[in-house]
Amino acid sequence: MVAEKTGTIRFYDLTTHQAILSLESMQVPLMSADWCLKNTFRVGAVAGNDWVIWEMPRSRLVLILLLIFQEACLYRWSKCNENLFATTGCPGKMNSQLLIHHLGHPHPILVGSASVGSGLSWHRTLPLCVVGGYRKLFFWLTEM
C-alpha cells in the first residue's frame, strides 16, 4: 500500500509490481493512511480536514467520512481491535493532541495530550497506544 499526498492510495502486487487497486480520498493533502490488520478489508486515512475509512470490497465507496476539528497528521488502526483507531496532531507542535476513536461512538473515547508529540503506534495485543514526546513516551490504555 502506498499513500500519496494527492489523495490516492494504491495497492501493488509484489510479484508483478503493478497497481491492482486504488482508492481516492477526494481531499488533499492526504497526511497519513493505515491498513487495518484485524480487518484487512478496511483502510483509513487523514486527508484535508476529514477522516476517511474505506471497506475494500466496495473500494469506490467511502464507508465513513468525518469532519474533524483539529489539525490531524497521523492515523493508525489498533492492532487488537478493528473498530479502534487513533489520530494525532502534526509532529513537532507543542501539546499535540491524541484522539482515540471507536467506530461505534460518535465522539472520541479518549483525548490525550503530549508535549511535542511525534510518532504514533499501538501495542500488538493490548489496546495500548503510545506517542513519542521530547525524551519521553506517552502511553494511553483504552478499554475494548
CATH of the domain at 50: 2.130.10.10
Give the residue numbers spanning the domain of 43: 2-141
Q: Taking the CB of residue 108, how many other CB atoms lie within 10 A of it? A: 16
Cα 58 to Cα 22, 41, 62, 106, distances in angstroms: 11, 9, 8, 23
Contacts of 60 (CB under 8 A, 6+ apart): none
Which pLDDT belongs to residue 97? Answer: 84
Contacts of 69 (CB under 8 A, 6+ apart): none
Which pLDDT belongs to residue 109? Answer: 92
Which pLDDT belongs to residue 67? Answer: 52
Q: What is the pLDDT along the chain (144 residues), one digit of tens a residue?
A: 999 999 999 999 999 999 998 998 888 899 999 999 999 999 999 988 788 888 887 655 555 555 554 667 889 999 999 999 998 887 656 567 888 999 888 888 998 887 766 789 999 999 999 998 878 899 999 976
In this structure, the chain runs to a length of: 144
Q: Rounded distance, CA 142 to CA 144, Å?
A: 7
Q: How many structural domains does the chain have?
A: 1
Which pLDDT belongs to residue 78? Answer: 97
Which pLDDT belongs to residue 86? Answer: 93
- 120, β-bridge pairs: 131
